[in-house]
Amino acid sequence: MKLKCIIVDDEPLAVNVIKKYVSELGKLELVETFNSAVACIKFLEENHVDIIFLDINMPLLDGLNFVQSLNPAERPMIILTTAHVEYAIKGYELDVLDYLVKPIPFHRFVMAVNKAFKLVDNKGLKEETSDKDFLFIKVDKKKLQKIYFSEISVIESLKDYIKIITDKGKFIVHQTLSSFTDELPSDKFLRIHRSYTISIDKVEMIEGNSLGINGMRYTIGRSYLNDVKKTILDTEINENFN
């Protein structure tokens, strides 16, 4: 398993160092690089990444304010990369995964990446140990609705709310898509877009960058495309699937 990452730094030399470390380590997939935090905001709205290697001192929007602007429940793991030691306390107050001081030694980079994999592994272990086939959702102030995983077809993000489409109807819940997806068994559900998580068993067709469920088409995000095909079709992406 590789974790998807991006680099956000306005210093080309620093970007090249992290790019080299990523290639040397072989456990990460570098998706994109950005020379400002502002430049990657739109990208994060439409694409999934696991880790952001983030500089602090940047024009227009510095790294710390950028982290504060992200939804804590939705944001990737943050590894700060900076030449300024004095921001460390503030960084950890924002619950970043690690704080790397430039020039970054390779062994410290490896330690930070290992923290990310440990966090992901612990989350996966928690999912594997659960044998429930249902959950309860809060549909109003007093009512909890029981839904079985087998009944769910699609979960759609509505910013701070989600729409859960089931065999019994649709439910609007005050919860983020990321946090709700974390409650679902990873062998049965798959995130295909910043806005959609789907039931793997409910997929009826795949065509281009979309798939069909119950007669409706759902767009597959570009950064999710390979994972979707590998999971659903059990094969690598190819030139005819784009």
Question: Structural domain of residue 149, as residue ranges?
Answer: 134-233
Confidence of residue 17 (pLDDT cuts 50, 70, 90): very high
Task: Name the domain boundary from 75, 101, 128.
Answer: 128
Q: Is residue 241 part of a domain?
A: no
Task: Name the domain boundary from 96, 128, 160.
Answer: 128
Q: Is residue 242 part of a domain?
A: no
Q: Is residue 62 part of a domain?
A: yes
pLDDT over 80 at 237, yes or no: no
Q: Look-up: residue for tokens 């095909």? A: 229
Q: Is residue 240 part of a domain?
A: no
- How much of the chain is helix, strand and coil, in % rounded to 5? 35, 30, 35
Which CATH number do you get for residue 184? Answer: 2.40.50.1020
pLDDT one-digit tens code per residue, 107-122: 999 999 999 998 887 6
62/124 same-domain check: yes
9/114 same-domain check: yes
Q: Which of 200, 202, 193, 208 is nearest to 238 (CA)?
A: 208
198/155 same-domain check: yes
- Is this model's pTM higher than 0.95 or not? no
124/7 same-domain check: yes
Which CATH number do you get for residue 103? Answer: 3.40.50.2300
- What total number of domains does the chain contain? 2
pLDDT one-digit tens code per residue, 194-223: 899 999 999 999 998 999 999 999 999 988
